Amino acid sequence: MARIRKKSVVPVYTVAAIWIFWASCMPMYKLSHFIWLAVWSFLAYKVTGFFWRGKWVEVADPEPVLESTGNPELDELIQQEHAAIREMRALNVRIHDKKISNQIDRLEQLSDSIFSHVRKNPGKLPQIRKFMSYYLPTTLKLLNTYADLAEQAVKGQNITATMNKIESMMDTIVVAFEKQLDGLFGAEALDISTDITVLENMLHREGLTSEGQNTQDIRQFMQQGAK
């Protein structure tokens, strides 16, 4: 969502009123008359524009044009990704609570990382089906409910209790998203662990390591290379 300032119509109406008044009560047969009219119109427009600046309005971002990948499931993933990110950003505009806003930022970052990784590794689509079909949409539903309740002028016991429940749930949701992302790298972690073990054994067998040498630095090197 983008925020733009919608100009007030008061300055325009003020200038129109000045022209009507001038045409009705003032002479308009010399050039100087029109010059004075223009001066007064300009001053009136600026003064009223200073006091009536208009209001900020939210404008929806234009829908991106998404090209088909040829994989229907991957296309659906990309569409859901764009829709979810747009909705999170719109919610962040509506919700003014700093903690919730920071958590939405984190969820957006995690969601983007999850979708980005699966786009590059379509074979992992089955691993995030429940995330796509339940966890993500339910999280967005909770946040929309929170935003609706927060915008109520009067907050009774039910509204406050519901908002408190959603606030207490957000920490758990963030951790769940983090675990979802971490789980996508399980195979990579297993592969790199196997590579490290094989390399350690080969280095030791070929006599390329000192007796009793700590191979922790080798593990760290291999793990950094896998990131």
On whether residue 67 sits in a domain, the answer given is no
Domain of residue 26 covers: 2-57
CA 132, 122, 183: angle at the middle one, nearest 5? 60
Alpha-carbon distance of 72 to 179, in angstroms, equals 26
Which residue blocks in the chain are alpha helix, DSSP H?
A: 10-25, 31-51, 72-94, 98-120, 129-130, 136-150, 157-183, 186-205, 216-226
Q: Give yes or no: residues 180 and 206 share one domain.
A: no
pTM of the model: 0.59
pLDDT, residue 107, reads 95
* Tokens at 98, concatenated: 């700093």
Spatial CB neighbours of 145, under 8 Å, sequence gap ≥ 6:
162, 166
Q: In total, how many domains does the chain have?
A: 3
Residue 83, CA distances (Å) to 25, 32, 64 in order = 59, 59, 10
Q: Give yes or no: residues 194 and 177 share one domain.
A: no
Q: Give yes or no: residues 157 and 193 share one domain.
A: no
pLDDT, residue 202, reads 74
pLDDT, residue 199, reads 75
Q: Give yes or no: residues 162 and 146 share one domain.
A: yes
pLDDT, residue 139, reads 96
74 in helix, strand or coil? helix
Alpha-carbon distance of 119 to 122, in angstroms, equals 6
Question: What digits encode the pLDDT tens for the residues 24-52?
Answer: 888 877 888 888 889 989 998 888 888 87
Q: Give yes or no: residues 83 and 145 share one domain.
A: yes
On whether residue 150 sits in a domain, the answer given is yes
Block residue for tokens 């920490």: 171
Q: Give yes or no: residues 129 and 156 share one domain.
A: yes
On whether residue 6 sits in a domain, the answer given is yes
Q: Give yes or no: residues 78 and 179 share one domain.
A: yes
Tell which residue, 76, 180, 175, 173, has the closest CA to residue 127: 180
Q: What stretches in the chain show pLDDT beneath 50?
A: 212-214
Block residue for tokens 């967005």: 140
Q: Give yes or no: residues 52 and 78 share one domain.
A: no
